[in-house]
Structure 1
Amino acid sequence: MRLRLGLRYKLLLGYCLVIAIMLAMVWTSFRALEDMSRAYSFAMEEQDQSLFFTAKEVDHLVWVTQLGEYLLGEEEFHGQLDPTKCRLGEWYYQFLSGERFATLDPELQELFLALDEPHRRLHESAQRVVSLVERGYNEVAIGHFFDQTKVHLMDVRGILDRIVEISTAQANAWHQEAERTVAATSKNLWTFAVAAAVLALLVALFLSSRITRPINRVAKVLREISSRGGDLTQKLPVESRDEVGELSQAFNNFIENMHEMILRVRRASENMVNSIGEIAAGNLDLSQRTQEQASALEEVAATLKQVTAAIEQMAANSTEGDNLSDETVAAVQKGDDAVKEVSEAMDDIAGSSRQISSIINEVNEIAFRTNLLALNAAVEAARAGEHGKGFAVVAAEVRNLAGRTAESAKTISELITSSALRVDRGARAVEHSKEILDGIVLNSQRLGDLMGEIAAMLREQSSSAQQIQRAVDQLNEVTQQNAAMVEEIAAASDSMRAESSELLELVQEFKLIDDLQEGAYGSHS
């Protein structure tokens, strides 16, 4: 069975092949980058190790030089004598117990293990030299320095130089491995690039022939349709089941749908020409009714204007009445305030009268006591005989004055009591007047509230009347616009009738299957 693939799957297959080659290129590049990175990393490690041991060798040379200067007495020796605490020793003994040492080549492992004894003896010889110098045996120390220390230093340097040599050789080997990886990767990338270019070119040629040929065929049929006066009887052959065949079938379906649409448009145009005449007749009747409605609305608008003016006048009158009521309430409140002031003044007078009565009582008491004192003085004057006559005359005069004072105080007390009674009656009258004025104020306020409510209702009615007036004006305006639109519709109907006739003529230019069948029937008849 022959496999039938659609154009979409053919495109996807071609693109997938190109993408597969590109992915292979990317995978190869990543693998090469990983190999190069690993090689360069190992090379850098070996180079760093070589530099490290070279630096440690230089450190020990400087250390031995300082020891020699110490022997000559030029300066104090401050170098590290403990082989496990110098910079090389600290790294060395930690390195021997680490995982990195186990991964080294056997030759390097032997060299590292062999470094322990000469390095330790080097520091022990230095300890011996320092001890001899401190005890004063400089010549013995110098001999020991050249016989032991220098020899052990050369042994340490020899081992370190061999380690550096091996590390440098391994670094060069890793560099060469990286260069070989770069060369192989470049060759593979060029191979994949050429293969991808050739495959992409083949896919492009194949797809262009599969796509452009049916498109050219569609363009040819379209040109024939346009050159033959709208011949919709043309069709494309369907030769495959892929997207190209679907395109041809879709084009044929489009032509059939276009055929049906043109046929419906032709029939609709014929019906439209007939309907437009009916619309024009109905539009004329609508225009007349619209004019009548506009006249009626104008009369309603005039009547509403009169009603609105009357309501506005009533609202103005009620507002004025409300203002007068407010003024009356204000005047009554002022009277009420005046009565309150009179009542307060009467209360003050009553209080003053009570104070005067109290004072008069004190005066009466003083007059009584004065009279008693004068009487006592007269008795004493009588006892005194001739010597008390003058004092008796004075006492009699004092008693006379005390009696007159008591009578005056009694008269004033009676007047004050009478005034107090009158003040009480006046206060009750003022309080009664105040209650009457409060009632007048309350009634005036109620009247003002009623007038305000009436004014508010009249204003609302005036506003409602104005809104109705505006609505009627808008309705009148809309009616006038409708009348204008009716006239425009009439003009548009005439224009539409002409355009429908023109559309019918244009549609009739298309060549349909029904036209061929009618022509065949006419020829047979």
Structure 2
Amino acid sequence: MTKHAVPASGRGWSVGKMLGFSFASVLLIVAVLSLSSFNGVSTLLSTSEELIVANETDAAMAQLEVDHLLWAQNLSFVFTDSAVNEVTVQKDPTLCNLGKWLVSEERERLEAGHPNTSGMIARMVPWHERLHQSAVEIDHHCKAGEANSEEAKAIFSKKSIPALRNLQGLLQDIREDVAKHSVTDEKLVAEAGEQRALIVVFVSVCVVASVCIAFLVTSKVKKMLVSTSRSIAQASEAVASAAQQVEKGSRSVAESSSEQASTLEETAAAMEEVSSQTSSNLEKAQKTGAYTTDTIGAIDETNQSLAELKEKITGLFDSSKEIQKVVQTIDEIAFQTNLLALNASVEAARAGEAGAGFSVVADEVRALAQRAASSAKETGEMIDESVVKIGESNEFVQRCSESFDHVLQTSTSVRSLVDQVVVASEEQSQGIGQINVSLVQMDKVVQSNASGAEESASAAVEMARLAGELEMQVHRLQRFAGESAQARTPKVELSAAAPVAFDDYPVRGRAASPTLASLN
């Protein structure tokens, strides 16, 4: 099977790295665009706030100027309107709008944003107080009935009007200074245009960069997918070819195993005949071997053994008598133990709960005593039976002695027959052993071949299935990569004329055949 080289496109960045790079690039572009937009909007907001503050300050100064002009006009009514005989304007400099503004936070913010106005405001305070003080002096003349006196008019013309003009001049200076150091509407519009142009440029650059990155990454991924799909298609073809070769090899092995199984059947039939003859010879050897084993191995020691047996039987009879005495003693001890356990149970019952545990122990001791008595009784009965059997054994030994004399006479005639049968059986046994070893080896080889053929066939089927699945995945990958799947991977088709069914061959179960089983 040929090995397919890894495509060159797979040696660079992986798909995951390229996608990660593209996403990171897009995020970086979005971040840069967002940062530039935020910076531009922040600049516009700062400029707008500065312009709003300047406009509010200008409007406030203009309103204060208008208020005091109206204040002076109302004060002049004392001299121009005969119906007015008192001063109705605010005479306290701290209660008018300007007086309230001088002690407000708006003044502090103005001085903080425009330090040049601090001196102007400081110079404005005495003029403001002088203006309101002139109203107080004019009010004294009105209350004295001297509203149109020359002195009252002089106060208005020499104190009120100059103070008002100086106050107007300082308010105008403050407005001019604020306007001079603040952003104008034209500048705000210009900055907004610059920020819009900058954002348009940034957006254009980001869009072009994103399109380029997307095109490069898509092209690279597509090339990798196409190359990979082609490599997989080639591998699928190789797998299909290998599956067909494996299937052919499995079929060849199966046919060979069938032929070997037939030969093994013929050999097994021949071995059945040999086995029958061997069984007949072995029967003769077993019958004669019983005679020779009894005679050759035991005749020389029979007489001495019988004498020793008689002595041992006599000693066994005496020992049985002694054992009977011991059993009687055990029976008596068990009886006394039973009585003691019974007394202990009675005493434990009298003791109540304190003797409950001892009562259980006493019951167990009593049960053990009863079991010991029962065992002693059974042992005595067995010993009695043994004594009877010992007597019978003594008689049997006597009869055996007579039988051995007869065996000694027949062993001589049987020995020659045994020697002939043993020699023939040994020769046949050696031949059968060699044949048996060969058959066992042949059977193992046949089984191994059959097992290998079965595994190979299963592997071929599995490889065929995997080749089909691999073909489907290749087509999906090709469709995903945008490549037309014209070169289709050929499907694996195993031969259906003679399927590899190993259960049909006689090789299966050969080790369990009666012929080989009898030989083993």
TM-score by length of 1: 0.41
TM-score by length of 2: 0.41
